[in-house]
């Protein structure tokens, strides 16, 4: 029975899974091919990372260690996972950056970092990161992603107003929404 090279290599793998280590001589006998052929098969399997050639034979390559999934980023304010649709990034002067789940948390966080270099918020309609200081926010709409009151960012005032007509809430510019959040969620360590 002559097997095709790929069938032979599959058979070798199967045997290796059962025995872990097999000699070239044994494989050649079992498959009734020359040891040279077995060497070529093992070289091919070794190229694919499935086996390791050892002196006179082969061992099954140990499976690659599984890379742990990257820790999902958490909001620097509320420590909840960041859904991503309304992310806010605060860039600090020292080069660090902070991620928040939504403008609600992002702007609350900004109260603690008044000298932040920049604050970017994801435009809720288009998904782009925009300068939050020039953006408009709909606060308290029916669309609640994470924090209450829901606070969503829009680069354009017109978009914010259209959204507000559909989903309610209040359209506020950056300074107004900062004042609103400060008034409703006063931070104990924020001095006036
Ligand atoms: Zn948050
Ligand atoms: Zn949030």
Residue at 192 is within a domain: no
Residue 99 and residue 167 in one domain: yes
Residue at 98 is within a domain: yes
pLDDT per residue over 77-99, tens digit each?
999 999 889 999 999 999 899 99
pLDDT per residue over 7-24, tens digit each?
999 999 999 888 888 899
Ligand nearest to the CA of 80: 1
Q: What percent of the chain has pLDDT over 90?
A: 68
Residue 56 and residue 17 in one domain: yes
Ligand nearest to the CA of 109: 1
> Is 50 exceeded by the pLDDT of residue 192?
no
The CA 113 to ligand 2 mean position distance, Å, reads: 18
Residue 180 and residue 92 in one domain: yes
The CA 146 to ligand 1 mean position distance, Å, reads: 7
Query: What is residue 189's predicted lDDT score, i.e. its pLDDT?
Result: 44
Instruction: State which of 22, 41, 60 marks the end of a domain.
Output: 60
Ligand nearest to the CA of 148: 2
Mean pLDDT of 48-66: 78
Q: How far is 11 from 25, CA to CA, in rounded Å?
A: 15
Residue 43 and residue 95 in one domain: no
Asked if residue 155 lies in contact with residue 128, where contact means CB atoms within 8 angstroms, the answer is yes
Query: What is residue 63's predicted lDDT score, i.e. its pLDDT?
Result: 60
Instruction: For residue 138, give its domain range.
Output: 88-184
How many structural domains compose the chain? 2
Q: Kindly report the CATH number assigned to the domain that includes residue 30.
A: 1.10.10.10
Residue 48 and residue 112 in one domain: no
The CA 36 to ligand 1 mean position distance, Å, reads: 63
- Ligand 2 (single-atom ion) residues, CB below 5 Å: 101-102, 105, 146-147
pLDDT per residue over 92-150, tens digit each?
999 899 999 999 999 999 989 988 999 999 999 999 999 999 999 999 999 988 998 99
Residue 177 and residue 102 in one domain: yes
The CA 23 to ligand 1 mean position distance, Å, reads: 59
Q: Where are the alpha helices (DSSP H) in the chain?
A: 5-19, 24-31, 35-47, 103-112, 157-167, 174-184
Burial-class residue 71 by CB neighbours within 10 Å (0-12, 13-18, 19+): exposed
Query: What is residue 67's predicted lDDT score, i.e. its pLDDT?
Result: 63
Residue 55 and residue 96 in one domain: no
Residue 39 and residue 112 in one domain: no
Residue 27 and residue 104 in one domain: no
The CA 187 to ligand 1 mean position distance, Å, reads: 15
Query: What is residue 83's predicted lDDT score, i.e. its pLDDT?
Result: 84
Residue 102 and residue 163 in one domain: yes
> Is 60 exceeded by the pLDDT of residue 39?
yes
The CA 106 to ligand 2 mean position distance, Å, reads: 8
Residue at 52 is within a domain: yes
């Amino acid at each position: 029975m002559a097997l095709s090279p790929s069938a032979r290599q599959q058979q070798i793998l199967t045997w290796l899974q059962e025995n872990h280590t097999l000699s070239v001589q044994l494989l050649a006998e079992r498959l009734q091919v020359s040891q040279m052929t077995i060497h070529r098969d093992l070289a091919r399997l070794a190229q694919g990372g499935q086996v390791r050639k050892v002196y006179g034979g082969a061992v099954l390559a140990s499976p690659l260690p599984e890379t742990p999934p990257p820790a999902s980023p958490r909001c620097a304010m509320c420590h909840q996972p960041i859904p991503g649709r309304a992310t806010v990034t605060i860039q600090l002067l020292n080069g660090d950056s902070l991620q928040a789940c939504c403008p609600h948390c992002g702007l609350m966080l900004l109260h603690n970092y008044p000298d932040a270099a920049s604050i970017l918020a994801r435009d809720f309609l288009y998904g782009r990161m925009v300068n939050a200081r020039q953006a408009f926010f709909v606060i308290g709409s029916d669309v609640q992603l994470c924090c209450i009151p829901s606070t969503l960012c829009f680069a354009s005032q017109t978009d914010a107003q259209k959204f507000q007509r559909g989903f309610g809430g209040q359209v506020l510019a950056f300074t107004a929404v900062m004042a609103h959040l400060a008034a409703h969620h006063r931070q104990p360590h924020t001095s006036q």
